[in-house]
Chain A
Amino acid sequence: MKKLNILLLTISFALLSCDYDKGFEEMNVDPTASTSLDVNQKFAYLFLKSASDEYEYTYTEVLCAAQLVQQLMHQTFPQSSIFSLREDLLTASWDVAYVSTIKTVVDIIDQLEKDGNTGTEMGIARIMKAYIFHKIVDAYGDTPYFDAGKGYLDSNFRPVYDDAELIYMDMLRELEEGVAQIGGSSTLGNADIIFGGDTTKWKKFGNSLMLRLAMRIKNVDAASSSAWITKAIAGGVMDSNADTAMMVHTNGPTELNKNAWGIHYVRYPRTRLGKTIYDWLDNRNDPRLNIIADPSNTYGGNPYGFNDNDLSGQGIDVGDLPYTNVNPAISRPDQPRMLLTYAQTAFVLAEHYAASGDHVTAETHYNSAVTSAMNQWVLWDPSFALPSADINAYLAVNSYDSANYNELIGDQFWVASFLDFFEAFANYRRTGFPALQPFGGNPAHPENLTNGTIPRRMIYNPNEANINPENFDAMITSQGPNNRTTRVWWDVN
């Protein structure tokens, strides 16, 4: 009995004094992941994702923005030419940006701050932050900015929606300070997949973006606009196609490496060139018609404002749309994606000088911009080089005219921004050019929800009202309802 009692006591003691969680801390560490990462790898990912995210580019830029500016049409998604509702397409860019590029750039800036880096790399990060955010602010309006992407760093799960005006002012400041931080060389090495370590080009990129944003706010804050344009020009903007910021893509090894337009082109074969741009190029014998349009047929562009049933009713075979496609030769997955081009920069300069009365400088920049817009297609394929004689002949006919400079510059900017649909959409809203007609001048389609007008913005994911109600409601009170006719801050035209 005694032996038994001792046995029992020993066993109980043993049971109660074991180290029950031995090894648990090590076990709970993911062997396939790391808790830190070199900032260069984050930069490379940031650059690539800023250029094209397949889902976001397809849904919002191509299926919405491109149709709004009448450069493309896609009959399977007529909501963007009839302006009925298809929420998931409109919200995609916002949804994706915050959990990919914005989160990454916030993480990079935090890491650089902790490393005490105030040099070139920090400058590049700040320029990229402005680049990423400006697309979102222009397309959606007031949006979280100062507290964005800080779910882990600050445990801020429901950030405030900041006023677009404050965001713009901060982006301009970030560009100024960021450019100032850029030195003679960068430590990014291979990770700089945009400029390959050329810091001069980074500065020009930063200043050209400053120029773009400054021009954008001309109608709401002329004084600031003018001040920032001056700063940008003084700092040095792009001056040739060699400065154009672009992402070179490759056909694999995974989908992420490919040009999103190239992926879209194969997956959505019902996409067609819009009638408006086709006619515009055709009427002027613009040499770019055979670059942008598929030269194998001359059907013409897809008309605007009809769904499949309407077209069937007109006798069109919707099974095989008789409209010209975008040229497959500029739609391959291994072709580059433009982030900000010299042509776009030069057009802004032309407009600036024209507005201030200096039409001589304006004309120089206008000619240079048109030439470069024509020439830029060699970046897609060298066979697209245009003889300068042809370009000059074109310029002789479509020459600069100080009386109509807004229309000339606006239209040319629009063509030069083909495939950069967000920028075309932003510039159209600010300038009113090209003079797009919703529904081709006919009465609005019965399913139209915008009173027959061309929408002025994309919409937020309505789920935000459930997840972030206080801030979302405050934004609506300040900016207006979450629909497509509400205007963003600078859109007062």
Chain B
Amino acid sequence: MMKLKKLFTLLFFVFSTLIYAQSVSGIINDNQGLPLPGATVVNLNTSEGTTTDFDGNFSIESSLDDILQISFIGFQTYQFQVSGLTDIINIQLEPGNELEEVVVSSFGFEKKTKSLGYSVSQVDGDEMSRVKSSNPLQALRGKIAGVNISNNASGVKGSTRVVIRGSSSFNGSNQPLYVIDGISIQNEQLGTAGEWGGIDGGDGLSTINPDDIKSVSVLKGGAAAALYGSRASNGVILITTKNGSNAEKGLGVELSNQTTFSRINNFFNPQLSYGNGLLGVASTNELDPFNSWGPKLNSGTKLYDNMDTLYDTGFNMSNSVAFTSNTDMGSTRVAFTNLEATDVIDTSQLKRNSLNLTTVQNLSDKLTVNASIKYSETREKGNIVMGTSPASPNETIRNFTPEIDVNDYLGTFGNGTTDGINELLPSSSIYSTNPWFAKYNNPNSVFKDRLLASTSIQYDIKDYLYLKLQAGFDRSTNHFNNTTNFGGNLNFPGISFFPLGDLYEQTQTIKQHDADFFIGTNGINITDDFSFNGFIGTGTFAFESESIGVLGRNTVIPGLLTIQNTANQQALYNYGQKQINSVYANTEFDYQDKIFLTFTARNDWFSTLSAAGKEAPNNDLYGSASLSVILSDLVELPSFISFAKLRGGYSQVAGGAGNPYSLSLTYGLIGQGHLGSPLGAINGDNIPNKTITPFQKDETEIGFDLRMFDNKVSLDFAYYENKTMGDIVNAATSRASGYTATTINLGEMTNKGIEILLRGTVIDKEDLSLDLSLTYANNQSNVVKTDESGSLLQLAVGSLFNSFIGAKEGEPFGVIYGTSFLRDNQGRVIHTLIDGVPIAQRENVSKVLGLGVAPTQLGFGGDLRYKNFSLYVFFEGKFGGSIISDTNSRMKQLGRHAVTVPAGGREAGFTPDGVMDDGSAVPKVVGSGDIQKYWNTAARFDIGEENVYTNDFIRISQLSLNYRLPKEFLQKTFIKSANVALIGNNLGFIFKDVPNIDPESFNRASTNAQGIEGIGMPIGESLGLSINLKL
């Protein structure tokens, strides 16, 4: 028995020493203590290598005293000598210095940050899906200096506008180029609001799912985007989707759910002391629930919060499941996402299903193939009509006096009708729609089906020479249905212009493809100190869109809303096609990995600028040069600076007219003839111009990138100046010319600005860390030239006809122009007595009243981690801009605005600021009647200045409180990791200047008409829960 025991013990020892002698095990974590999967562990003595698994574990054959080397991109390589074979080794890697940091740059090439002479900002996919919205770009608000993101006040489906380094084109789109996995995608806004309202159909980017995003790179300046050519003249947003290569080896499953509830931020703050009536007298007209010029309300009167009644709680839920496979041959990710959202007006809904299959495969050691297919299907119903249009529920809801309950207008059928079909009109005006009628009888819908496919194939002929092909397409089919409902009550038709209803059905197919072919070289050593890198390529971009629609007027059978049921029908057809072909080259010289010099050149040929017999060119050659110097490698710097880079560059880019067929005058047939004769006329109101050439935009940029205190603090600074010359614009012409505008190369505009990004790790302990980041950007634009006579260009007219957004020589771009108060030479407002009441007079010449775009933007965020908890808060601020507010104007006209009730009540009156036209003091205005006369003239159509407000604000933009379930907890389950977070979006303001509305309630933000608020959906705040599981 003893002998057996000894044998077993001996065997056990031998066995264990054998085991321990054979491998070393450990866990690799990153600097935040999170496991690092995919890190490479190499035994330098045996040359054996392995990688860490999903939990950061590794096990490698090793003997005592062997040297093991751990490396991972973005971190400093770590080596250690094996000193013991029994313990599990715990290693934490430190973030790498700039030797290793890479960003995704043009054409998907990953470039070391240190070699770039221009500014690129990269945001991780986790940041994009931390607090998700239906448009992934919302997650970037305020986080990238110089990138100004704003969106329409049109609810969940609204469009987003992104402007990088200021607008540089008068009538062009000013939006960047969006590239996803190597192909550009169409991001046109489908439908917009004009000064009379309209519907926002969302934009192309909203069909991309935030959970699928691996990283977003923003190429801000001309040098960054030079390789993408003219479509990138406003920068590039490069999105790379996940392809499974960061997932654990083998198979993986990831589930996530985000559920949020939203409600409006109700800033609407009317006076509640005076009720319905006019001139101080209670109204006897029950068809006027809107005027609040009546007598003082008794303290016992019940008051209703009608905004609260109409707007419910919105709901937004997104579920996604992703399968990943990660092997040595390559990796694949397949993800399916479902999104359902109901807006605060609950008849407005959105459903989206999408599928994303992305893979990267190393077919041989010379051939790598990337491919991706993304399909999404979106169904939107009940899209809200914007602005002051009849059929907008948002317009009249603010107008009801507080003692009137808007529920009274539901009608017996509960949908705002008298008999189930005809509108129950709240007032005698056909322009004021019953909000319930607009809510329940609004069968607008938008269906979007979209397929994106892309592939890139790279073949390494030699290890220094490669061929690469990148191609793909974006195809979408969109179907719109707009209906202005049969609301006709023949004494009071419900919807003003079409009492018998008006239907519009349209199907639009948009296709675009990109194909690029390069041949290039990687890292050829010219001498010991110099190496060279470059490629030459050719590419093509083709776009085609076709839409077929039917407009039907005057429904015959009441309530049957289909085109067949209309008395008058008209067919509509639209077609557009354009193409850009290019050839380009890129060369980079690298001196000792410390100084980098890059040159690019590109020539674009535009079909939109081509016409038979045209002498002016249809193409342009342009280039860029940029330099990056790693100062910290060249000179001795104070020790707290671990890395310093200086960069600078100059670039030129050309741009062509975005619209095809704009070079010739054409005729078309109108309607279906009359009395047997066809009718024909000149198409359109724009004078075509055959001498158009591409415009040119030049940019100079300098900056630096500093990492200090052991990489705990980083400061990135950029200064840029850009100039656009010969901008192709539609300049307004006098209507007496027979046309309303002409296309011409006229404009010249500049932008200058600075961008600062400051990040720091303030606390860095094992269990506790705090990271702060601050972005600051300021852009000063200037309109240098509009045309030969220095005309004022109108970019968009406000819904209050006394205001517009304009471009005037010597002023910043996009100023708010409007009529102003007539003032004396001391600046006092001049009043004239009309009917016994002093009325402020208006000056008939329009003036600059403010900037439509805020020149200064700020973003501030903090990320606090304690053990398994993390708290993230982000604030965003904009300063220096103004807004012209339709809501405030109407409130003053109707007596709802707080300013119409002076401190002692209307009975006590107030003395207006200013002077009478004869120089005497302005008499006091006393009593509801006179106060009504004072405001009712000034507010509405007459004086724009009255309703322009400075628009500074700081918004509490995002919040998330995240808990990561500890590993010990999950070990017994099949769940590998789990995160739960409480998330919130747009939770309020630290301060804001403009009363009664959200400072960003633009209804046309995605066009150049920024700065006009025209009564849209109130912007909401949301709060909810997000769960993410990895199996």
Question: Does chain A have a CB within 8 A of B285?
Answer: yes
Q: Check B791–A467 contact: CB distance below 8 A.
A: yes
Q: Check A152–B688 contact: CB distance below 8 A.
A: yes
State how many angstroms separate the Cβ of A313 from the closest Cβ of chain B: 8
Q: Check B553–A255 contact: CB distance below 8 A.
A: yes
Q: List 24 A-B contacts (CB under 8 A).
A: A15-B538, A20-B603, A20-B619, A24-B606, A24-B618, A25-B611, A28-B578, A32-B574, A33-B666, A34-B666, A35-B664, A37-B680, A41-B678, A41-B680, A44-B679, A104-B681, A149-B737, A190-B675, A253-B570, A255-B568, A256-B671, A267-B497, A312-B285, A318-B287
Q: Report the bound CA distance from A144 to B737 in whole Å.
A: 9
Question: Does chain A have a CB within 8 A of B636?
Answer: no
Contact of A467 among B519, B687, B734, B801 (CB under 8 A): B734
Q: Check B835–A446 contact: CB distance below 8 A.
A: yes
Q: Report the bound CA distance from A206 to B667 in whole Å.
A: 29
Question: Does chain B have a CB within 8 A of A30?
Answer: yes
Q: Report the bound CA distance from A318 to B611 in whole Å.
A: 60
Q: Which residues of B contact A99 (CB under 8 A)?
A: 685, 735, 738-740
Q: Check A266–B499 contact: CB distance below 8 A.
A: yes
**Which residue of A has the minimal Cβ distance to B673?**
A44
Contact of A159 among B567, B661, B667, B737 (CB under 8 A): B737
**Cβ proximity bits A189-206 to B, threshold 8 Å, 1 near / 0 not:** 111010000000000000
Q: Check A37–B667 contact: CB distance below 8 A.
A: yes
Contact of A269 among B490, B538, B834 (CB under 8 A): B490
Given A35-B664, A267-B493, A318-B287; A98-B738 close (CB under 8 Å): yes
Q: Check B736–A253 contact: CB distance below 8 A.
A: no
**Number of A interface residues, CB 8 Å?**
91
Question: Does chain A have a CB within 8 A of B536?
Answer: yes
State how many angstroms separate the Cβ of A171 from the closest Cβ of chain B: 17
Binds B, one of A4-12, A229-237, A391-399, A404-412: A4-12
Q: Which residues of B contact A88 (CB under 8 A)?
A: 801
**Which residue of B has the minimal Cβ distance to A190?**
B677
Q: Report the bound CA distance from A31 to B430 in whole Å.
A: 41
**Cβ proximity bits B546-574 to A, threshold 8 Å, 1 near / 0 not:** 00000001000000000000011110011
Q: Check A309–B736 contact: CB distance below 8 A.
A: no
Q: Report the bound CA distance from A62 to B685 in whole Å.
A: 26
Q: Check B682–A467 contact: CB distance below 8 A.
A: no
10 closest cross-chain pairs (CB), A and B: A151-B737, A41-B680, A103-B738, A33-B666, A149-B738, A24-B610, A144-B736, A37-B667, A30-B661, A157-B733
Question: Does chain A have a CB within 8 A of B676?
Answer: yes
Quick one: which of A126-155 are within 8 Å of B by CB?
Answer: 143-144, 147-152, 155
Question: Does chain B have a CB within 8 A of A158?
Answer: yes
Q: Which residues of A contact B618 (CB under 8 A)?
A: 21, 24
Question: Does chain A have a CB within 8 A of B583?
Answer: yes
State how many angstroms separate the Cβ of B131 from the closest Cβ of chain A: 44
Question: Does chain B have a CB within 8 A of A357?
Answer: no
Given A28-B608, A151-B738, A253-B569; A4-B519 close (CB under 8 Å): no
Q: Check A15–B499 contact: CB distance below 8 A.
A: no
State how many angstroms separate the Cβ of A36 from the closest Cβ of chain B: 7
State how many angstroms separate the Cβ of B657 from the closest Cβ of chain A: 10
**Residues of A with Cβ closer than 8 Å to B?**
4, 8, 11-12, 15-16, 18, 20-21, 23-25, 27-38, 40-42, 44-45, 48, 75-76, 85, 87-88, 94-95, 98-100, 102-104, 106-107, 143-144, 147-152, 155-159, 161, 189-191, 193, 248, 250, 252-257, 266-267, 269-270, 308-309, 312, 318-320, 446, 461-468, 471
Q: Report the bound CA distance from A190 to B679 in whole Å.
A: 11
Q: Report the bound CA distance from A27 to B663 in whole Å.
A: 12
**Which residue of A has the minimal Cβ distance to B619?**
A21
State how many angstroms separate the Cβ of B66 from the closest Cβ of chain A: 41
**Which residue of A has the minimal Cβ distance to B540?**
A20
**Residues of B with Cβ closer than 8 Å to A?**
278, 283-288, 428-430, 461-462, 465, 490-493, 496-500, 519, 536-538, 553, 567-570, 573-575, 577-579, 581-583, 603, 605-612, 618-619, 660-661, 663-683, 685, 687-688, 731-740, 742, 789, 791-792, 794, 801, 834-835, 844-846, 933, 941-942
Q: Check A33–B611 contact: CB distance below 8 A.
A: no
**Which residue of B has the minimal Cβ distance to A51?**
B674
Q: Report the bound CA distance from A116 to B500 in whole Å.
A: 48
Q: Check B675–A34 contact: CB distance below 8 A.
A: no
State how many angstroms separate the Cβ of B418 from the closest Cβ of chain A: 13
Q: Which residues of B contact A15 (CB under 8 A)?
A: 536-538, 583
State how many angstroms separate the Cβ of B551 from the closest Cβ of chain A: 9
Contact of B670 among A45, A98, A156, A471 (CB under 8 A): A45
Q: Check A38–B570 contact: CB distance below 8 A.
A: no
State how many angstroms separate the Cβ of A128 from the closest Cβ of chain B: 14
Q: Check B665–A152 contact: CB distance below 8 A.
A: yes
Q: Check A27–B278 contact: CB distance below 8 A.
A: no
**Which residue of A has the minimal Cβ distance to B281?**
A313
Given A76-B430, A193-B674; A158-B493 close (CB under 8 Å): no
Q: Which residues of A contact B668 (CB under 8 A)?
A: 32-34
Q: Report the bound CA distance from A450 to B349 in whole Å.
A: 51
Q: Which of A16, A35, A103 has the most CB of B within 10 A?
A: A103
Q: Report the bound CA distance from A107 to B671 in whole Å.
A: 20
**Which residue of A has the minimal Cβ distance to B666?**
A33
Given A27-B610, A99-B739, A267-B496; A468-B578 close (CB under 8 Å): no
State how many angstroms separate the Cβ of B805 from the closest Cβ of chain A: 13
Q: Report the bound CA distance from A95 to B732 in whole Å.
A: 14
Q: Which residues of A contact B607 (CB under 8 A)?
A: 21, 23-24, 27-28
Q: Which residues of A contact B492 (CB under 8 A)?
A: 269, 319
Q: Check A20–B682 contact: CB distance below 8 A.
A: no
Given A31-B575, A267-B496, A269-B492; A25-B666 close (CB under 8 Å): no
Q: Check A269–B680 contact: CB distance below 8 A.
A: no
Given A269-B491, A312-B284; A21-B605 close (CB under 8 Å): yes
Given contacts A28-B610, A152-B682, 17 further A-B contacts (CB under 8 A): A21-B606, A23-B607, A24-B606, A30-B661, A32-B574, A34-B666, A34-B668, A37-B680, A45-B680, A100-B681, A151-B737, A156-B737, A252-B568, A253-B569, A257-B674, A308-B428, A319-B286
**Which residue of B has the minimal Cβ distance to A15?**
B538
Q: Check A38–B567 contact: CB distance below 8 A.
A: no
Q: Which residues of A contact B677 (CB under 8 A)?
A: 40-41, 44, 189-191, 193
Q: Which residues of A contact B428 (CB under 8 A)?
A: 75-76, 270, 308, 318-319
Q: Which residues of B contact A147 (CB under 8 A)?
A: 736
State how many angstroms separate the Cβ of B549 from the closest Cβ of chain A: 13
Q: Which residues of B contact A319 (CB under 8 A)?
A: 285-287, 428, 491-492
Contact of B674 among A42, A44, A155 (CB under 8 A): A44
Q: Which residues of A contact B578 (CB under 8 A)?
A: 27-28
State how many angstroms separate the Cβ of A364 from the closest Cβ of chain B: 35
**Which residue of B has the minimal Cβ distance to A88?**
B801
Q: Check B672–A254 contact: CB distance below 8 A.
A: yes
**Which residue of B has the minimal Cβ distance to A320?**
B491
Q: Report the bound CA distance from A38 to B663 in whole Å.
A: 21
Q: Check B801–A87 contact: CB distance below 8 A.
A: yes
**Which residue of A has the minimal Cβ distance to B681?**
A45
Q: Report the bound CA distance from A149 to B687 in whole Å.
A: 11
**Which residue of B has the minimal Cβ distance to A470?**
B789
Given A35-B666, A103-B739; A4-B536 close (CB under 8 Å): no
Q: Which residues of A contact B611 (CB under 8 A)?
A: 25, 28
Given A4-B465, A20-B605, A269-B493; A48-B674 close (CB under 8 Å): yes
Q: Which residues of B contact A8 (CB under 8 A)?
A: 519
State how many angstroms separate the Cβ of B940 from the closest Cβ of chain A: 10
State how many angstroms separate the Cβ of B639 from the closest Cβ of chain A: 47
Q: Which residues of A contact B536 (CB under 8 A)?
A: 12, 15
Q: Check B671–A38 contact: CB distance below 8 A.
A: no
Q: Report the bound CA distance from A151 to B611 in whole Å.
A: 20
Q: Check B737–A27 contact: CB distance below 8 A.
A: no
Q: Which residues of A contact B666 (CB under 8 A)?
A: 30, 33-35
**Which residue of A has the minimal Cβ distance to B836?**
A446
Q: Which of B492, B677, B737 has the most CB of A within 10 A?
A: B737
